[in-house]
């Protein structure tokens, strides 16, 4: 019980016992005086003597009734015991990770002649989708390439400018394919961020192999040494010979593995949007909520109320009171 409850009980119990005494000694006397209508002095004397007499019967009755009153007061005060112990729990905790420095993400998009038609249109729509997907959460850069650099946009948070440049500058797909130029350009743009220990990401979307003389492998090794992952997305082209398609897939897997990135294969160009969404949501470390399990240790205080025990005790005392009164009555008779 709280301190104020102890004080209240400490006041009520003596007060109740005192009231019980008054009722037992004086109240009953007054009650009997008013109940008896006899005016004979002898009868009044007998009644008063029976009330005033303090024998063991009266003390027993007074003690039992006072004890019952005290128990009832304690029961109404809801007594309890407090048990303190240490509990350990493993709970899932949602953590909101807010990255103040937005990570730069550069999309390298192949716009060579093999990307004409539906592949070109769908890849541009997927590129614009990725820009909007990363809006507000990353600095987005964009490089369109064939055998030269067609469009270069450094990482920026001016997302609408990127979308406008894509619509304005990219009209059709033509030319050959060279990896080294866009990879080296993106590396030079991201190197200052890595110097500040900021995570950087590159997404390479292409449907074929570069020229055999293209020195892209040395640049890929530099990406690996600076911990800049390249996520490669291979757009399968069924019209190409199987050996060439296998070499293209092998090359892009090697680039992803060397830089600790992930390789993706797109068989239907209309699924490119979903692949880029997966890269943005699953692979790139963006500000988001994570669920982790953590062990929580804390002290617990539990209250064990004793109302039931006190009620049993009160009932026992009441029965004892009736039993004693019955025995007293039998002895008297």
Per-residue pLDDT, 99: 46
**Region(s) of the chain under CATH 3.40.50.410:** 99-286
Backbone angles phi, psi at 148, to 5 degrees: -150, 175
Sorted by sequence, the CB contacts under 8 Å of residue 244 that are 6+ apart come out as 208, 209
pLDDT digits (tens, 9 = 90+) for 119-158: 999 999 999 999 999 998 899 999 999 999 999 999 999 9
Determine the average pLDDT of the residues in 84-93. 62
Helices (H), 177-284: 180-195, 216-225, 242-258, 272-278
- pLDDT over threshold 50, residue 97: no
Query: Burial of 257 by CB count in 10 Å (0-12 exposed, 13-18 middle, 19+ buried)?
Result: middle
Identify the CATH homologous superfamily for domain 99-286: von Willebrand factor, type A domain (3.40.50.410)
The C-alpha atoms of residue 37 and residue 8 are separated, in whole angstroms, by 42
The C-alpha atoms of residue 132 and residue 272 are separated, in whole angstroms, by 15
- pLDDT over threshold 70, residue 321: no
- pLDDT over threshold 60, residue 114: yes
The C-alpha atoms of residue 261 and residue 279 are separated, in whole angstroms, by 10
- pLDDT over threshold 60, residue 289: no
Tell me which residue of 134, 137, 108, 279 sits closest to 202, measured CA to CA.
Answer: 108
pLDDT digits (tens, 9 = 90+) for 196-250: 888 999 999 999 888 888 899 999 999 999 999 999 999 988 888 888 889 999 9
The 3-state DSSP class for residue 215 equals coil
């Amino acid at each position: 019980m709280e301190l104020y409850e102890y004080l209240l009980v400490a006041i009520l119990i003596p007060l109740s016992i005192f009231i019980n005494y008054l009722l037992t000694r004086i109240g009953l006397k007054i009650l009997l005086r008013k109940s008896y209508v006899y005016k004979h002095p002898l009868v009044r004397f007998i009644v008063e003597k029976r009330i005033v007499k303090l024998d063991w019967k009266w003390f027993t009755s007074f003690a039992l009734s006072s004890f019952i009153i005290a128990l009832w007061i304690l029961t109404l005060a809801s007594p309890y015991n407090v048990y303190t112990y240490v509990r350990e729990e493993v709970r899932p905790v949602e953590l909101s990770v807010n990255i103040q420095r937005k990570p730069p993400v550069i999309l390298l998009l192949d716009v060579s002649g093999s990307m004409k038609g539906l592949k070109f249109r769908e890849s541009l729509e997927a590129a614009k989708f990725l820009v909007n997907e990363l809006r507000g959460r990353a600095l987005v850069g964009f490089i369109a390439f064939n055998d030269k650099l067609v469009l270069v946009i450094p990482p920026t948070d001016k997302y609408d400018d990127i979308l406008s440049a894509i619509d304005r500058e990219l009209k059709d797909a033509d030319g050959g394919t060279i990896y080294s130029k866009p990879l080296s350009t993106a590396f030079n743009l991201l190197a200052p961020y890595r110097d500040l220990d900021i995570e950087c990401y590159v997404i390479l979307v292409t449907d074929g192999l570069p020229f055999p003389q293209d020195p892209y492998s040395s640049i890929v090794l530099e990406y690996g040494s600076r911990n800049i992952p390249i996520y490669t997305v291979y757009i399968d082209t069924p019209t190409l010979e199987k050996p060439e398609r296998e070499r293209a897939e092998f090359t892009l897997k090697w680039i992803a593995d060397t830089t600790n990135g992930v390789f993706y294969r797109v068989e239907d160009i209309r699924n490119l949007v979903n692949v880029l969404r997966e890269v943005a949501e699953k692979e790139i470390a963006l500000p988001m909520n994570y669920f982790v399990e953590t062990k929580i240790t804390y002290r617990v205080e539990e209250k064990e109320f004793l109302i039931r025990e006190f009620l049993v005790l009160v009932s026992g005392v009441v029965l004892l009171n009736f039993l004693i009164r019955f025995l007293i009555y039998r002895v008297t008779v």
